[in-house]
Structure 1
């Protein structure tokens, strides 16, 4: 069974969890319709999140030296982030070393589908099957003179293993859809039905308003009703990190 191990520094604690499905902005959509988008749902839970041990606010004045980010921790706490690189970059120090299986890297990025005003996460890929070096999670301010707030328990990092070299083995191609008649047939059937469905949605009491949305992709079936041969997933269930002596 493949493993992902987080070796925590002595005297430190790390809060890490499987990334949850829920997002506040998705909850706030009309009838929570955003959760009907399966690609969003799968991306939301595709990895683990590191959580802030304490809350703090930060503000960048727009200049490039390190002292131009002012960080204010919550009363009685220490901020888990610092200004280390300058240029509007806010740095979280991750208090553990991750170890992946041989030839697996760790893709490290910001929380998926959690946009944050005035600051954006940076992404990195680390060779965690051998590296004895810690990494940092960095965010870059996108607007100066704006207070940014990270709450205690708020995710600041999202990570998941990827197989090294897997992208380089892929042979990308561009071809005409007409050269794949089976795919073209299903696409045209979907396109026609989608157009008719959207038109029907404008009429109260119609079949489309009763159904509310089309579920073929969610269910893993083609527009013709044929089941796909692919390993379709409608949910992911990642395991919690378990403490080992």
Structure 2
């Protein structure tokens, strides 16, 4: 099965797209940059491709439901990156490309993961790009009236990654007590004991090396035994090729 995702740009238009980076400003600002110790955050941050704003702008929503409730100031008024299209405080980016994916593969479209933006919230959608022959939009919901919101040039406004709708439907789920799986319960209790002892030790000794404040079991992919064969500490997404 082909794994090719194609970004078919519209005539005389372009799309700035790149693999999503792990780096986040708010994570950089945490003490010892400790937020990067959370491997699930790192993997989610990089789980897709970012589409970048072609030029900067700022906008302000007055709280109304009409399209005119947004006020805009664009760096490039001749080609505005985003507009008020739906009303109700929704900011719309028109992606100038038709995205196509293999049969059965849809595109999850959302804001940059773990990259909060004051005053506005990214909306998410799943598009059946295996048959769609039209563009789609990335939308953000303004949350605070009378607040200026700024998007800088080359700031990511959209994140995309492939999903299979038939795959998630194939899963079943059940809820049961952990006591029904003694091996899992024993592992959980051993980990909990180790974690408690580690945190108690930190209360009485503050290691000079910031990395020593981090237990690293999950990051290393093991707790008591061999490293898990499927464990990942990073993603290596393909750079879009230009033709």
Q: TM-score, normalised by structure 2?
A: 0.95
Q: Cα gap change, 1:96/1:224 in structure 2, threshold over 3 Å: closer, same or farther?
A: same
Q: Is the 8 A contact 1:200 1:207 kept in 2?
A: no
In 2: Cα distance, 1:206 partner to 1:157 partner: 40
Structure 2 equivalent of residue 237 of structure 1: 236
Q: Size of the alignment, in residue pairs? A: 242
CA-CA distance at 1:77 after TM superposition: 5.8
In 2: Cα distance, 1:155 partner to 1:24 partner: 13
How big is each residue's C-alpha offset from its partner over 1:191-233, in whole Å with a ceiling of 9 and x where there is no partner?
A: 0111111111012266997721111111111x323433x5111
Q: Is the 8 A contact 1:4 1:99 kept in 2?
A: yes
In 2: Cα distance, 1:205 partner to 1:118 partner: 38
Secondary structure at the aligned position of 2:196 is classed as: helix
Structure 2: stretches of 5+ with no match in the other structure: none
More displaced, 198-207 or 143-152? 198-207
In 1: Cα distance, 2:52 partner to 2:20 partner: 10
Structure 2 equivalent of residue 32 of structure 1: 33
Kindly report which structure 2 residues correspond to 1:93-132, keeping only aligned pairs within 5 A, or say none: 93-132=94-133
Q: Cα gap change, 1:45/1:210 in structure 2, threshold over 3 Å: closer, same or farther?
A: closer
How big is each residue's C-alpha offset from its partner over 1:41-93, in whole Å with a ceiling of 9 and x where there is no partner?
A: 00000000000000000000001000001111026663200000000000000
In 2: Cα distance, 1:227 partner to 1:17 partner: 31
Q: Is the 8 A contact 1:73 1:79 kept in 2?
A: yes
CA RMSD of aligned residues (A): 1.7
Q: Cα gap change, 1:148/1:209 in structure 2, threshold over 3 Å: closer, same or farther?
A: closer
Q: Is the 8 A contact 2:121 2:141 kept in 1?
A: yes
1:3 lines up with 2:25 in the alignment: no
